[in-house]
Amino acid sequence: MAYLTDLKRARGMGAAKTGTEHFWNMTVSSVALLVLIPLFVFTVGPMIGAPYAEVAAHFARPFPAIVTGLTIVVGFLHFKGGVQVLIEDYVHGMARKVWIIAMICLSYAAIGTGLFALVRLAL
């Protein structure tokens, strides 16, 4: 049995070798969402209840389309990471693997659907 110091364990990224990477991915996506969500609210908010032609013209401009696309991608990747940690903590056995795969597929499907809708609206 090997006894590791905290420094040695951090350098090796823990037992699963992905803990530090996952932590940084979640931290970076949190900071990105901290910037993107207010931009998204102030960019998309005025379009709520507007006629379709006005909304389509608004999203045809680059800034609203880029902010919306980035918010969709970063938001669902952050969702994927958070739900994966939740499942790892509370679900055991084969169900854990099944739920993680299902949530990853759901996250990427939601990203694809959101970006497809955005592209259809913008073009």
pLDDT tens for 37-55 read 999 999 999 999 999 999 9
Long-range contacts at 56-64 (CB < 8 A, ≥ 24 apart) = 56/121, 56/122, 59/118, 59/121, 59/122, 60/122, 60/123
Query: What domain count does the chain have?
Result: 1
Examine residue 74 and state whether it is found in any structural domain, yes or no: yes
Contact 118, 59 (CB under 8 A): yes
pTM of the full structure: 0.83
Q: Which domain holds residue 29?
A: 22-122
Q: Give me the mean pLDDT over the 67-74 stretch.
A: 98
Better-predicted residue by pLDDT, 107 or 19: 107
**Quick one: pLDDT at residue 20?**
82
The answer to whether residue 54 sits within a structural domain is yes
CATH of the domain at 112: 1.20.1300
